[in-house]
Amino acid sequence: MTATVRTRFAPSPTGYLHIGGARTALFNYLLARRSGGKFALRIEDTDQTRNIAGAEQKLLDDLRWLGLHWDEGPGVGGPAGEYHQSRRLASYQRVARELLDSGKAYYATETREELEAMRRAAQKEQGGFLYRRPTHFPSESEAQKARDEGRPVVVRLKMPPRDVVVSDQILGEVRIAASELYDFVLLKADGWPTYHFAVVVDDEAMGVTHVLRGQEHLMNTPNHIALQEALGYRTPVYAHLPIIMNMDGSKMSKREKDRAVRAAAAARLAAGGGERAALAAAASADPGSFEAWLTGDAQLDGDALRRLARELHVQLPEIEIHDFRLSGYLPETLLNFIALLGWSPGDGRERMSLEEMTAAFSVERIGKTNARFDRAKLLNFNTQAIAAAPKERLLAALRDYLGVSERSPLAGVPDDTLRRLLEINDGLRLFRQLEEKCAALFAPDEALSYDDDAVQKTLIKGERAGLHVLAELQPVLAAVGDWRAAALETAIKGFGESRGLGLGKVAQPIRVAVCGNTVSPPIFDTLELIGRERVLRRIGETLRRLAADAPRAAPPASQGSSS
């Protein structure tokens, strides 16, 4: 009989979806799809102290955004009924009872302090601590008595005294010596199951046949295998994925975002440029915890961190899937890139759709070595994907981006204009880039800010040549009857030729005058989209403002800056 392949992704709701988690989800998804099986999503929310409100929703959103739809799990149900471990408590307790009754598990009543003391003592002597099985197992009533006395009571599994061999699809056979194994906890003192326990019980209940998970779980596997044996469960096929690291070899961690913002905050405060209270407010933290965050290693809530980053004008490093969404990456491209971190189809292909990856996927082709997350390559993937994407797909993706981009200058822009923007921005790398580049086309005149360097370079420098060009061009533009890119091009190019000026000499002064900086879409389209009236007004205003500055702006450069 050929059992249906069932895989699962089982995150705990502690925040946004991580890059590593996304890849694990992807591989599980691909394996299930590839083999015509089922892909389930299970929420591992058994740690009462770690669950974060709203995190599950974020997790699901990220997964959906990526297009990794699950066949069973939250929102869609499935044969296992509940897919939140917090709602499956009864089954863990039932199984624990079974284990206790058959003598395969026992109560243990050491306190955390006692355990910690043993650990320290062992550390000193031999360097490693393994929980030593007690000589006496508390009876049911003794356990109850301990509980009554306020002592913690946990349930531990009796590990069989033999080596465990993990048959891993990627790593081969990994043998863990019996001497490395110990009686791990099944049920915590609060009655909730540990990860090890819940994962085994649920994988069995959900019929999971293949477990693809990060390599950080490799050393957990003997526990799971021992438990499966004790319970008479079959052992699923295991495949431990290599880990995704930062370019510098460090682990990709949310903490990086805190570090980036913390540094900026400290710099701001040191420069006397900001009130502590204001920053704390931006982070929606009370002064005490803000201070603790600022001076320590604590982590701020993702959204609070984002607000603070905005306040400080720092770019958060992209760590979680949501960060990439906010930067304006295409989800299908992110998925494609992530898939190649540890897997390759073997035929030299790199750019693949989810369907193509599904068709090509196999666990055998997953590598063993940790991969570094190279953002430069990702950016290139995205650039090429944007160039190759069908127009309507691109528009939908841009709409999605604008939906999550706070206070976007392009927020109210109609689809037709968005299409136009996409057309005139070839070479585009990220949606955020388009947003920044086109902001001036939609911003009200008062909101325009002029970049000093740009003004100096294109308008002032060289005896205000740029300014002169602008002044002469003004009436030419004013005379353009048909305010569209083509006619503007004719007029402006004609002007340039009549003066013997290359387009660059003409376009850049205009660009800076109407956009405030040297970067915008092609100048003729830019002018058309800004509109005749606003263009003329911005040019006039620029001329006026800089003329007033003239005495100061053009002193004979007697004291050279050379030193």
Q: Among 104, 254, 257, 437, which one carries the catalytic annotation?
A: 254
Subset of residues 305 to 364 that bind RNA, contact rule: CB under 7 A: 340-342, 344, 346, 348, 350
Residue 165 lies near RNA (rule: CB under 7 A):
no
Residue 77 lies near RNA (rule: CB under 7 A):
no
Residue 523 lies near RNA (rule: CB under 7 A):
yes
Smallest CA-to-CA distance from 79 within 207, 185, 197, 194 is with 207
CA distance 464 to 363: 65
**Residue (33 or 511) nearer to RNA, CB:** 511
The answer to whether residues 104 and 230 touch, using CB atoms and an 8 Å cutoff, is: yes
Residue 235 lies near RNA (rule: CB under 7 A):
no
Residue 150 lies near RNA (rule: CB under 7 A):
no
Find all residues with CB under 8 Å of 259, minimum gap 6, and list them: none
| Nearest approach, Cβ of residue 96 and RNA (Å) | 13
The answer to whether residues 203 and 196 touch, using CB atoms and an 8 Å cutoff, is: no
| Nearest approach, Cβ of residue 468 and RNA (Å) | 18
The two structure tokens encoding residue 419: 């299409």
- 8-state DSSP, 320: B
Query: Applying CB under 7 A, which of residues 78, 84, 129, 301 lies at the interface with RNA?
Result: 129
Residue 127 lies near RNA (rule: CB under 7 A):
yes
Query: Applying CB under 7 A, which of residues 91, 474, 508, 542 lies at the interface with RNA?
Result: 508
Long-range contacts of 471-478 (CB under 8 A, 24+ apart): 471/543, 472/499, 473/506, 473/509, 473/510, 473/539, 474/536, 474/539, 474/540, 474/543, 477/527, 477/535, 477/536, 477/539, 478/536
Subset of residues 188 to 227 that bind RNA, contact rule: CB under 7 A: 188-190, 192, 194-196, 215-220
Residue 15 lies near RNA (rule: CB under 7 A):
no
Pairing of strands 210-214, 237-241: parallel
| Nearest approach, Cβ of residue 308 and RNA (Å) | 25
Residue 254 lies near RNA (rule: CB under 7 A):
no
Subset of residues 464 to 503 that bind RNA, contact rule: CB under 7 A: 489, 502-503
| Nearest approach, Cβ of residue 521 and RNA (Å) | 6
| Nearest approach, Cβ of residue 204 and RNA (Å) | 16
Subset of residues 107 to 126 that bind RNA, contact rule: CB under 7 A: 110-112, 115, 119, 123, 126
Give yes or no: 368 in active site. no
**Residue (520 or 542) nearer to RNA, CB:** 520
Query: Applying CB under 7 A, which of residues 97, 162, 175, 545 lies at the interface with RNA?
Result: 175
CA distance 76 to 90: 22
Choices 187-195, 256-264, 311-319, 476-484 (CB under 7 A): range interacting with RNA: 187-195
**Residue (427 or 556) nearer to RNA, CB:** 427
Q: Total residues contacting RNA (rule CB under 7 A)?
A: 91
**Residue (342 or 409) nearer to RNA, CB:** 342
Subset of residues 429 to 458 that bind RNA, contact rule: CB under 7 A: 429, 437
Long-range contacts of 401-408 (CB under 8 A, 24+ apart): 401/325, 401/328, 401/431, 401/432, 401/435, 402/431, 402/435, 404/325, 404/326, 405/326, 405/328, 405/431, 405/432, 405/435, 406/310, 408/435
**Residue (35 or 215) nearer to RNA, CB:** 215
**Residue (291 or 350) nearer to RNA, CB:** 350
* Sequential DSSP letters for 67-130: T---SBBTTTB-TTS--BGGG-HHHHHHHHHHHHHTTSEEEE---HHHHHHHHHHHHHHTS---
The answer to whether residues 358 and 39 touch, using CB atoms and an 8 Å cutoff, is: no
The answer to whether residues 226 and 160 touch, using CB atoms and an 8 Å cutoff, is: yes
**Residue (119 or 276) nearer to RNA, CB:** 119
* Residues with catalytic roles: 254
